[in-house]
A and B are shown apart, each in its own frame.
Chain A
Amino acid sequence: MKHTLSVLLQNKPGALSRVTGLFSGRGFNIESLCVAETLDPKVSCMTLVTRGDNSIVEQITKQLHKLIDVIKVTDITEGEFVEREMVLIRVKAEANTRAEVLRIIDIFRGKVVDVSPTTYTVEITGPESKVKAVIDILRPIGIKEIIRTGTIAMARAPKK
């Protein structure tokens, strides 16, 4: 099963490699990883997407927690959460397909961020499923290059 972990860690040199080293050393997989500073510049937040059965994810969570630089680990898949990923796609846009590409981008509420005589570069944001859907639809038209950020996620605020 897919799990999205939110990891708060000290913003120190080497902290990130402790986390990635733990995954490679123990044979856990990382599907995606995003990390940046939080409001407190001494602390970073990492969103990490991994796959595994419950006992593996429990072990991953405990091992992460054991790292001295890690402050807090939350498996946000356990509750309600919002997730977003951004992708930049450079897609072929020649005379006969330009209009169609624009139509597709519009449906997905994407934006064209760069234009050349033969391509559009578009930006799409959404949950991973949406990003995948756009890629699948644009692929037959001809994707030249694609860059994904990986998922970031946040638990939903309590309703009361």
Chain B
Amino acid sequence: MSKITGSQAIVKCLHEEGIDTIFGFPGGAVIDLYDELLDSDIKHVLVRHEQGAVHAADGYARATGKVGVALLTSGPGATNGVTAIATAYMDSIPIVVFTGQVPRVLIGNDAFQEVDIVGITRPCTKHNYLVSDPKELVSTIREAFYLAASGRPGPVLIDLPKDVVASMMSFPEKKPIKMQTYQPTMEPHPGQIAKACKSCLKAKRPVLYIGGGVILSNANKELTELAEKLNTPVTMTLMGLGGFPGTNPLSLGMLGMHGSYASNMAVAKSDLLIAVGARFDDRVTGRLDAFAPHAEIIHVDIDPTSISKNVDVDIPIVADCKHALRAMNSWFDDSKQFDAETTRDKHQPWVNQVQEWNEKHPLTYREEGDIIKPQYVIEVLNRLTKGDAIITTEVGQNQMWAAQFYKFNKPRRLLTSGGLGTMGYGLPAAIGAKLAFPEATVIDVAGDGSIQMNIQELATARQYGAKVKVAILNNNYLGMVRQWQELFYNKRYSATIMEVTPDFVELARAYGAVGLRAKTKDEVEPVIKEALATDNLVIMDFAISREEGVFPMVPAGKATTEMLLV
């Protein structure tokens, strides 16, 4: 068999995996691979900071469901990527990150731009590799893609010593991957499914509590079928938004710290909680002993470590969400015990009760004359994009307002850093999504603080024609931290006032983008309309009511029924 270089082998592997776009930043350790990329048809997107490359790959992955790929050089290139790798890890996003490494003979010598990136990223990757033998390069890459995308997805890092990439090697044919030590359970146990379904029939006050797993496993159709079959209200985590249509009458929106009143009440009063692809995060449960205290709990998750980690589960189902939901749906379809009408009628009083809660305390805000309310901005965005844009967010109040007031009807429309809460995620993620779907409207809902963390990626967006729209909800504060200081620290605003902020309209111009500003409520709609109509990268700067808070709010460590309301 003829031999090829490591660089050629890597490009061939990318082709094999159907990768046409990668995000990266070059350096000495990966210069061979970059040389090879020039001759390949793989589109390389040159970011302005390695964190941006990995977030963009992550945004690409979240929007498409495919594996995102980033390429970084050794040392500082690799460490710059770590925050973004941890971001993908916390949200179980399938990406493969290639990092350059010094030649094998220099490893361990404190060589120039050497860092033990495999050691550094061990706790924030699903798995990682240092390729120490050229013979293992191809099989390692194939395994990495398989690991990233299968089971509970996640980031996988491959560290590539420069001399390994420069070596000559054969390119063996691809065989189906089988790993002795890794066999995710896809199919649910039929006995557990039957048990769960019987509990559903017994329940009077069931709630479906769904998380990112529903989106990752593309189970939204099966989930919607189940919810409607059982006439059961659905509440979603931040990561689960879009897993069930936000405008469906059974949708309660988000639960938890900034969840809707109806969501948190429904969970608290439920007698059956059906958790699907969610992990009982502390931002969701609040004080643990007061979370769903009367409920029997069914938990579907592909990752056994998620089950009974925080909350004792009565009926665990280890499986891929899609498979498990499909099995539940067919159990009901085949069962003589189930009658759609009877079940609908049986749950209707509960559905009415939940809707009553929603009417009593809907997600809302106080109008204040001319002043721009951030929630209003999101409402207008929602209306003008018909709820069908891809929304990325930064982190903080902007993120929560987007989650509360944009009505996500489809999965993969909200790309947000849920688990790690990484400021600076939204812009590069939007670029990744836009390059995957050039026709889609992609909007980064941003804060004035967060946007400055990866603002340099505006240049990347311009260079590749990623015409994303950035909507800055500008309160001149690190607003979410300020809100905590207001509520729990006697309004002592330590280090949350942004005394100097760039003029974002001028800044947009500096990057060759279009800058628009709205200072009053009337200006909001025209600005958004113009932004959507403009065939360019746009920054919208909304001067919002500065001390607006995100409500409802469950103070950290309190029961989720102890909500501070508007």
Interface residues of A (CB under 8 A from B): 10, 13-14, 17-18, 21-22, 25, 55, 58-59, 62-63, 65-66, 68-71
Contacts of A18 in B (CB 8 A): 122
- Report the nearest A residue to B124, measured CB to CB: A25
A21 lies within 8 A of B181 (CB): no
In the complex the two chains form, what is the Cα distance from A25 to B182 in whole Å?
Answer: 22
> In the docked arrangement, what's the CA distance between A66 and B312, Å?
20
B304 within 8 A of A: yes
Please indicate the chain B residues that have their CB under 8 angstroms from the CB of A22 in the complex. Answer: 123
Q: Which residues of A contact B189 (CB under 8 A)?
A: none
Could you tell me if B305 and A14 are in contact, using CB atoms closer than 8 angstroms?
A: no
Add 12 more A-B contacts to A13-B130, A17-B122, A66-B305 (CB < 8 A). A13-B132, A21-B122, A22-B123, A25-B123, A62-B305, A65-B304, A66-B303, A68-B126, A68-B127, A68-B181, A70-B181, A71-B180
B308 near A69: Cβ-Cβ < 8 Å: no
Q: How far is the CA of A58 from the CA of B180 in the complex (A)?
A: 22
Q: Within 8 Å CB of A17, what residues of B?
A: 119, 122
Determine the chain B residues whose CB is within 8 A of the CB of A68 once the complex forms.
Answer: 126-127, 147, 179, 181-182
Q: Which of chain B's residues 169-194 have a Cβ closer than 8 Å to chain A?
A: 179-182
- Cα of A41 to Cα of B118 in the assembled complex, Å: 24
Which of B132, B147, B305 has a CB less than 8 Å from the CB of A63? B305
B118 contacts which of A10, A14, A59, A69 (Cβ < 8 Å)? A14
Kindly list the 7 A-B residue pairs having the minimum CB-CB distance in the complex, ordered from nearest: A62-B305, A68-B127, A62-B304, A25-B123, A71-B181, A63-B305, A68-B182
Q: Does B383 contact A (CB under 8 A)?
A: no
* Least distance between A81 CB and chain B CB atoms (Å): 24
Residues of chain B from 98 to 152 with CB closer than 8 A to chain A in the complex: 118-119, 122-123, 126-127, 130, 132, 147
For residue B309, CB closer than 8 A to chain A, the reply is yes
B residues near A58, Cβ cutoff 8 Å: 308
Complex contact B308–A55 (CB within 8 A): yes
Known: A14-B122, A17-B122. A59 touches B305 (CB 8 A): yes
Contacts of B312 in A (CB 8 A): 55
Q: What's the Cα separation between A65 and B127 when bound, in Å?
A: 13
Contact (Cβ within 8 A) A21 B123? yes
Residues of A within 8 A of B122 (CB): 14, 17-18, 21
A17 CA / B120 CA spacing, docked (Å): 11
Interface of A is mostly: helix
**List of A residues within 8 angstroms of B126 by Cβ:** 68
User: Dominant SS at the B interface?
Assistant: mixed
Alpha-carbon distance between A71 and B181 when the two chains are bound, in angstroms: 5
Tell me, in angstroms, the Cα distance from A49 to B143 when the chains sit together: 32
Q: In the assembly, what is the distance between CA of A23 and CA of B312, in Å?
A: 22
Whole-angstrom CA separation of A2 from B20 in the bound complex = 52
Query: Whole-angstrom distance between the alpha carbons of A10 and B181 in the complex?
Result: 9
Which A residue sits closest to B123, measured CB to CB?
A25
Name the B residues within 8 Å of A65 (CB-CB).
304
A55 to B180, CA, bound (A): 27
Instruction: Report B-chain residues with C-beta under 8 Å of the C-beta of A55.
Output: 308, 312
Chain A residues near B304 (CB, 8 Å)? 62, 65-66
Alpha-carbon gap, A137 to B140, bound state (A): 54
Closest-CB distance, A132 to chain B (whole angstroms): 34
Shortest B157–chain A CB gap in Å is: 12
What's the Cα separation between A68 and B326 when bound, in Å?
28
Shortest Cβ distance from B312 into A: residue: A55
CB distance from A31 to the nearest CB of B (A): 22
Distance, CA A95 to CA B181, complexed state (A): 58
Name the CB-closest residue of B to A22: B123
**Distance (whole angstroms) from the CB of B128 to the closest CB of chain A:** 8
Q: Known A59-B309, A63-B305; judge A69-B181 contact (CB<8 A).
A: yes
A63–B306 alpha-carbon span in the complex (Å): 9
In angstroms, how far is the closest chain B Cβ from the Cβ of A75? 15
Alpha-carbon distance between A59 and B308 when the two chains are bound, in angstroms: 8
Shortest CB-to-CB span from A104 to chain B, Å, is 45
Question: In the complex, how many angstroms separate the beta carbon of B138 from the nearest chain A beta carbon?
Answer: 18
Chain B CB count within 10 A is highest, among A58, A66, A69, for A66
* Complex CA distance for A140 and B249, rounded to whole angstroms: 77
Q: Which residues of A contact B305 (CB under 8 A)?
A: 59, 62-63, 66
Pairs across A and B, CB under 8 Å, 21 listed: A10-B181, A13-B130, A13-B132, A14-B118, A14-B119, A17-B119, A17-B122, A18-B122, A21-B122, A21-B123, A55-B312, A59-B305, A62-B304, A62-B305, A63-B305, A65-B304, A66-B305, A68-B126, A68-B127, A69-B181, A71-B180
A24 — nearest CB in chain B belongs to which residue?
B123
The chain A residue sitting closest to B128, CB to CB, is: A14
The residue on A at minimum CB distance from B126 is: A68
Q: Which residues of B contact A10 (CB under 8 A)?
A: 181
B residues near A59, Cβ cutoff 8 Å: 305, 308-309
For B147, B182, B303, which residue has the most chain A Cβ atoms within 10 angstroms? B182
Residue in B closest to A68 when the chains form the complex, CB atoms: B127
Report the Cα distance A73→B417, complex, angstroms.
33
CB-nearest residue of chain A to B306: A62
**Closest CB in chain A relative to B32 CB, distance in Å:** 24
| Complex Cα–Cα for A66 and B147 (A) | 12
CA distance A58 to B309 in the complex (A): 9
**Residue ID in chain B nearest A65 by CB atoms:** B304
CB A68 to nearest CB in B, in angstroms, measures: 4
A13→B122 CA distance, assembly (Å): 12
Cβ of B164 to closest chain A Cβ, rounded Å: 15
Residues of A within 8 A of B130 (CB): 13-14
Among A10, A17, A62, the most chain B Cβ lie within 10 Å of the Cβ of A62
A48 to B181, CA, bound (A): 19
Q: Which residues of A contact B179 (CB under 8 A)?
A: 68
Instruction: Note all chain A residues with C-beta closer than 8 A to B181.
Output: 10, 68-71
List residues of chain A with CB within 8 A of the CB of B309.
59
Min C-beta distance of A10 to chain B, whole Å: 7
* B180 contacts across to A, CB distance below 8 A: 71
A4 CB to nearest B CB, Å: 21
Docked pose: A68 CA to B182 CA in angstroms: 6
Which residue on chain B has the smallest CB distance to residue A63?
B305
B181 closest partner in A (C-beta):
A71
Give chain B residues whose Cβ lies under 8 Å from the Cβ of A69.
Answer: 181
